[in-house]
Structure 1
Amino acid sequence: MATTTSPVLLGPRRGAGMSLALQALRRSRPLVGFLPHSSPLSTSASPPDAHELLRIDRILTNPAAGGGGSLPSQSQQHPRAATDLHQLLRRAAGLTAAESASLLRRLPGAQPHPRLGRLLQELAGLGLPRGEVKAALASDQEGLLSMDPGEPSRLLDLLRDLRCREAVRDRILAHGALRAAVAARRRVELLHARGLSRHDALRVLAAEPRTMLYSPEDVERKLEFLVETMGFEVGWLVQYPEFLGVNLDRWIIPRHNVVEHLKSVGGLGDPVEMKHYVRLTRRRFYNMFVKPYPECERIFGGLVRERDEMARRRHPTGLWKLFKPAKHERTQEDVQNMKSLVGSLK
C-alpha cells in the first residue's frame, strides 16, 4: 500500500529544513551539498535559493538591514551629522575646522547627540556676536553644551529683564550675556539639586540677581548654612531670596550667633523668623535683639553705640565756629534809621 505524505507534517518539516540551512550557512558549509534534494521541503516548491538564505541571515543578525537599504546605518549617519555640527559651530561661534574638530573630540560619547545640533542651531539664531559664543565655549564648555534646547533663550530673557541696580547689572553682564546665562544656569542646577524646582530657582534668581555675583561654592555654603545650621528649609528662599544676595560672614552669621545666645539664656519670647535675618536693617536688628542685652554687642560685631558716636563727631570740636557768619552790633542810631525807613514805606 502506497503511503502519502500528510499535509499536516509539511509545516514542521519546512521549519526544520530552514533552520538546518541557516546553521549550515553560519558554519560556512556548502549549502547545495547540505540540503537534502531527494526529499523536497514542499510538494510544489523548488529548493531554497542561496541568495534568499543569505538575505534572511542578514535580517536575523542585523534587523536594520531588512529594509532593503532604505534605512542608513549609524556608521553612515555619523559623518553627515559631524559635518553639520562643524558648520553649526562655524556659524554660531566662528570656529575653524580644526577648532571644531578638537571640540567635538572632547565631547563625551562616540557620536554627537541630536540635542547638540538643535542647541547649536538655537545659538546661531540668537544673533549673538561670534566672539561672545566662542568666549563662552572657552570659559565653560560643559556648562554651555549641556543645556537643553530652549534654555539659552529663556536665560537671556531673564537677564534682559533684570530688576536691580545698574552697578549690579554691569557686573553680571561684564563678560557677555551668554557667559552670564551659563553662570545663571549653574546656580539654577545648584538650587534644583538642593530641592527647589527649576521654575522656583529661576524665580529666586530673578528676584535676587546678586546671587550670580557669588561663586557656586559660596552659594553652596549659604545653602548648607541655611539648612544644616539655621534649620530652615530651602523652600523659604522663594519668599526670602535676599538670603542669597547678602554676605554670609558679615550679615547672617552675626545675627545667627546673637539669636542662638538669646535662645540659650531664655531671652527670646517669640520665635525668630526668616525675615528677621534678611529683612531687618542693621539698626533695627540691633535695637530689637542686641541693645537690651549688652553682652550681645560683642557677639554682634563690636560696640555699635561707640561707632555711632564716632560717626557723629566727623569734625574737630570748635571748627564750626570758623564758618559762622560775623555778627554786627546795632547802635541806637541804626535802630532809629530803620524805624524811619519803615515808616516812610507805609
Structure 2
Amino acid sequence: MARAPQALRRPHHLLRLLPYPAPLSTSSSPPDPRELLRIDRILNRPPTAAVAAGQPSQALQHPRAATSLHHLLHRAAGLTAAESASLLGRLPGAHAHPRLGRLLQELAGLRLPGAEIKAALASDPEGLLSMDPGEPSRLLELLRDLRCRKAVKEQVLARGALRAAAVARRRVELLHARGLTRHDALRVLAAEPRAMLYSPEDVERKVEFLVDTMGFEVGWLVQYPEFLGVNLDKWIIPRHNVVEHLKSVGGLGDPVEMKHYVRLSRRRFYNMFVKPYPECERIFGGLVREREEMVRQQHPTGLWKLFTPAKYERTQEEVTNMKLLVGSLR
C-alpha cells in the first residue's frame, strides 16, 4: 500500500522536468509608421476600376466633408466656393482626410488676417496644408520668439508670419530628410534664422557640401548652426580649400574642427591659416599681404592746415571802420 502513493507521485516529478508553455503575450510591437502611411494611401486611393467605370470620385462620395472644407476655407481665408474647389482639386485625397479639417480649424483660430492666410495658401498650398494639426501654432511661436538681429527677423517675417512658417517647415523637412530629427531641425532654425532666407536648393547644397566634401556628419549642424547662415561660396569654400592645401603639404599640426570654419572671423582665420603660408593667399582670396613694392599712401594732411582760418578779402571801408573802433577805445 505504501508503494501505491509513491507510484501516483511519480507523474508529478516527471511533469516538473517538462518545459512549461510560455504565457501568451497580450502586448504587440508598435506598428511601423511607414506601413501605416502605406495603408492610409491604399484606403484613400480611389479604385482604378471605379474611375474607369465613371463612378463618382471621393469629393462626390463625401459631400458633407467637401462642404465642411469649403466652409472652413471661407471662414479662415475668405475663399470663395470656386477658389476652394480649385485649391482642393490640386490636393488629391483632401476631401476624405480628417486631418485637413482639423488643420483648417486651427488656422481659423489663429486670429491671423484672412488676407495673410489667403496669401500663404496661394504661395505654397501644399506646404501649408500638409502640416499636422498643432504644427502651425508651434512654428508661429518659434518665429515669434526668434532671438536674432532685428533686420534678420524683419526679413524673415517680411511676407507674413504664416508664409514664414511654411518656409520654416520646408527647411525642417529638408533637414529631416538628410538625417536630423525634426526636433533638432527646429533647434537649428531657432538658433540660425538666416537659414530661412536661403532657398531650399542653397540649404541642400550646403548640407551636401558639409557631408560629402568636408566629411562631417549632419549632426554637427545642431552644435554649429551658423554653417547654414553664411555664404557657402564666399565663406566656407575658400576656408576649405586652404585647409585641404595645408593638409596636402603637411602644414597642419592639429586637426581642423568645425568651429574653425564658421566661428572664426575672416581676419582671425587669415592670421592663423593663411598668413604663415604665402601660397595660401591666392587660394583664400582677399586680405592679401601688402608687398614692399606697393606704393604706400602719403601721410595725411597736418592738422595745422585743416584748422587754418579762411582768408577773406578786406575792403577799404572795413579797414576804416576798424581804425575808428580801435581809436575810440584809447
Task: Tell me whether the two structures share a fold, i.e. TM-score over 0.5.
Answer: yes
**What is aligned with 2:83?**
99
| Partner-residue secondary structure (3-state), 1:305 | coil
User: Cα RMSD between the aligned structures?
Assistant: 2.2
Are 2:239 and 1:255 aligned?
Answer: yes
Question: What is the distance in 1 between the residues matched to 2:161 and 2:188?
Answer: 19
Letter in 1 for 2:184: D
Q: 1:75 to 1:131 in 2, by over 3 A?
A: closer
- Compared with structure 1, are the counterparts of its residues 96 and 264 closer, same or farther at alpha carbon in structure 2 (3 Å cutoff)? same
Q: By how many angstroms is 1:201 displaced?
A: 0.2
Indicate yes or no: 2:270 matched with 1:286: yes
The answer as to 2:90 corresponding to 1:90 is: no
CA shift for structure 1 position 97: 1.1
Where 2:62 maps in the other structure, the secondary structure is helix
Q: Deviations over 1:200-223 (max 9, x none)?
A: 000000000000000000000000
Establish whether residue 212 from structure 1 lines up as the match of residue 201 from structure 2. Answer: no
Give me the whole-angstrom Cα distance separating, in 1, the residues matched to 2:94 and 2:107.
23
Tell me the CA shift for residue 172 of structure 1. Answer: 0.4
- The equivalent position to 1:156 in structure 2, one of 129, 140, 150, is 140
Aligned to 1:296: 280
Q: Return the alpha-carbon distance in structure 1 between the equivalents of residues 173 and 259 of structure 2.
A: 25
* 1:323 corresponds to 2:306: yes
Which of the residues 133, 139, 145 maps onto 2:123?
Answer: 139
Q: Distance in 2 between matches of 1:275 and 1:103?
A: 46
The runs of 5 or more residues in structure 2 that have no matched partner are 1-57, 310-330
Per-residue deviation at 1:317? 3.9
Larger-Rg structure:
1
Return closer, same or farther for 1:321/1:247 CA change in 2, 3 Å cut-off: farther
> Please, which of 259, 268, 281 is the counterpart of residue 275 of structure 1?
259
Q: What is aligned with 1:243?
A: 227
Unaligned runs of 5+ in 1: 1-73, 327-346
Matches within 5 A, 1:1-346: 78-109=62-93, 111-306=95-290, 317-318=300-301, 320-324=303-307
Identical aligned pairs, as a percentage? 84
Give the superposition deviation at 1:323.
2.3
Aligned length: 249
Q: Distance in 2 between matches of 1:144 and 1:316?
A: 62
Residues 160-210 of structure 1: per-residue CA shift (max 9 Å, x gap): 000011110111000000000000000000000000000000000000000
Secondary structure class of the residue paired with 1:142: helix
Deviation at 1:257, TM superposition (A): 0.3
SS at match of 2:254: coil
1:110–1:192 CA distance, 2 compared to 1 (3 A): closer
SS of equivalent to 1:232 = coil
Q: Secondary structure at the match of 1:90?
A: helix
